[in-house]
């Protein structure tokens, strides 16, 4: 198809369910009823265009059918699935090991029920580390327990490897992003107003550019806060286990998790991103708002997705993948730190791997239809060259 050609797309609701034993209910409502996992997604099928290949977009907690890229790929003639996990739109109790098994259910359904010969995983944003975790375990299954020590069913799930991999506007891991964004000035986790002014990125007397000594101290303090929080989580979880009662899990709040100097200082990992803002809005407002990273979490979810103990670390997982890889960095990305795409690309075990930088592209292509079209052309051409889709 030519770059300008588009086709009519028929969206269809997808529902999968499978049985999985659970020690207790972790998600609200029917979707998490005891012993059964329910998954929902949207498959975009171009009218009159059969395909032997399915592209799967999946994020641990978001519903990616609302993003521009999946629909644009479908309008170009590709079959696209936007897959939702059991934790759709609520990552407070999210266990990455469970999401990997959810993704495996979609891949198996695509090949064994829908009859696709090829599956290409597209790891967008937070879906990048998820997809890398999945592919690494599909090729070399090894994870038998979550970071909390609970058994998981990754090995028993018999994950089917994807046939190709696209990494786009994706970070290394949720844990690494949180470690770079968390506010190290917080002195009391139960009182976010108790803060160290010497580490307050938003103090009126502290303006960018920041000197190297401040950044070094700031980054070290961020890691220390993550360590303290993780140690506290493990201690509470151990206490609950020793009690051996009916309380199995606990929720908690982590205040102030958006203090990323890169959003305010253009000299840090320079690229084309806008300065003084981020993909969620004003960083200072987000820092104390209700929608920041890891704001609400359970003990197990913290260990699985936000702590240094996470198994879903894209850079480590990339070493175990062998399928063709296309890595796309957005040069004006206002969410993903600039070095992350290169780090994953360099670590990837794939012999056939390609990286490109899409100049000027923001995270969501807002107001950038021409750059969105370039991204579609890039993916389409790369897939056609490798026999992963019809040219």
Residue partners of 15: CB distance under 8 A and separation at least 6:
38, 39, 40
390 lies in some domain: no
Distance of alpha carbon 156 from the chain centroid: 24
pLDDT given for residue 194 in this prediction: 96
321 & 212 share domain: no
Beta-bridge partners for 29: none
Which residues of the chain have a pLDDT value below 50? 1-3, 391
* 19 and 114, same domain (yes or no): yes
Inside any domain, residue 354: yes
pLDDT per position as a tens digit, 309-344:
999 999 999 999 999 999 999 999 999 999 999 999
Same domain, 189 and 162: no
pLDDT score for 32:
56
Residue 4 resides in a domain: no
Note whether 82 and 298 are within 8 A (CB): no
Spatial strand order of the sheet with 53-58 comes to 9-19, 36-46, 79-83, 53-58, 118-124, 164-168, 325-330, 353-358
Domain boundary residue, one of 274, 298, 322 = 298
* Residue ending a domain, choose from 240, 270, 298: 298
| pTM recorded for the entire structure | 0.95
Whether the CB-CB separation of 161 and 135 falls below 8 Å is answered with yes
- 169 and 22 part of one domain: yes
Tokens at 186, concatenated: 């917080």
Residues 257 and 288 in one domain: yes
Could you tell me if residue 261 is inside a domain? yes
Q: Could you tell me the residue range of the domain that residue 147 belongs to?
A: 9-173+310-385
| Nearby residues of 165 by Cβ (< 8 Å), 6 or more positions away | 120, 121, 123, 131, 132, 135, 321, 323, 324, 325, 326, 350
Give the pLDDT score at 31. 56
Is there a cis peptide before residue 358, judged by omega within 30 degrees of 0? no
Amino acid 2: pLDDT: 43
Domain with residue 21: its CATH number is 3.40.50.1820
What is the tally of structural domains in the chain?
A: 2
In a domain, residue 391? The reply is no
Query: What pLDDT, on the 0 to 100 scale, is given for residue 26?
Result: 72
Q: Is residue 3 part of a domain?
A: no
Q: Which residue, 257, 274, 298, sits at the end of a domain?
A: 298
Question: In this structure, is residue 137 part of a structural domain?
Answer: yes
Q: Does residue 68 share a domain with residue 149?
A: yes
User: 188 and 79: one domain?
Assistant: no
**Domain-located, residue 365:** yes
């Amino acid at each position: 198809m030519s770059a300008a050609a588009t086709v009519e797309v028929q969206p269809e609701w997808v529902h999968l369910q499978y049985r999985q034993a659970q020690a207790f209910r972790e998600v609200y409502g029917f979707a998490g009823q005891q012993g059964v996992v329910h998954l929902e997604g949207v498959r975009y099928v171009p009218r009159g265009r059969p395909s032997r290949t399915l592209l799967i977009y999946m994020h641990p907690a978001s519903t990616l059918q609302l993003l521009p890229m999946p629909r644009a790929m479908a309008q170009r003639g590709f079959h696209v699935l936007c897959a939702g996990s059991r934790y759709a739109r609520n990552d407070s109790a999210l266990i990455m090991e469970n999401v990997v098994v959810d993704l495996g259910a979609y891949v198996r359904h695509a090949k064994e029920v829908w009859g696709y010969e090829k599956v290409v995983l597209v790891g967008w944003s937070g879906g990048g580390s998820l997809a890398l975790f999945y592919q690494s375990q599909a090729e070399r299954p090894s994870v038998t327990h979550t970071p909390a020590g609970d058994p998981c069913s990754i090995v028993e799930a018999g994950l089917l490897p994807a046939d190709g991999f696209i990494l786009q506007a994706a970070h290394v891991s949720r844990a690494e992003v949180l470690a770079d964004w968390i506010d190290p000035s917080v002195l009391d986790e139960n009182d976010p107003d108790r803060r160290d002014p010497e580490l307050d990125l938003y103090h009126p007397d502290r303006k960018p550019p920041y000197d190297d000594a401040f950044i070094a101290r700031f980054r070290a303090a961020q890691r220390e806060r993550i360590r303290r929080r993780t140690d506290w989580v493990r201690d509470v979880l151990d206490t609950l286990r020793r009690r051996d009662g009916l309380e199995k899990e606990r929720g908690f709040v982590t205040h102030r998790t958006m203090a990323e100097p890169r959003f305010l200082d253009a000299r840090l990992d320079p690229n084309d991103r806008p300065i003084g803002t981020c993909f969620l809005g004003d960083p200072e407002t987000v820092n104390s708002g209700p929608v920041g990273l890891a704001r609400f979490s359970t003990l197990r979810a913290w260990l699985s997705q936000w702590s240094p103990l996470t198994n879903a670390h894209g850079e480590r997982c990339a070493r175990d993948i062998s399928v063709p890889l296309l890595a796309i960095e957005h040069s004006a990305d206002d969410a993903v730190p600039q070095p992350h795409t290169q780090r994953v690309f360099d670590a990837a075990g794939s012999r056939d791997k390609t990286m490109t930088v899409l100049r000027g592209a923001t995270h969501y292509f807002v107001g950038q239809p021409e750059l969105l079209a370039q991204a579609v052309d890039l993916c389409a051409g790369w897939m056609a060259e490798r026999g992963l889709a019809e040219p």
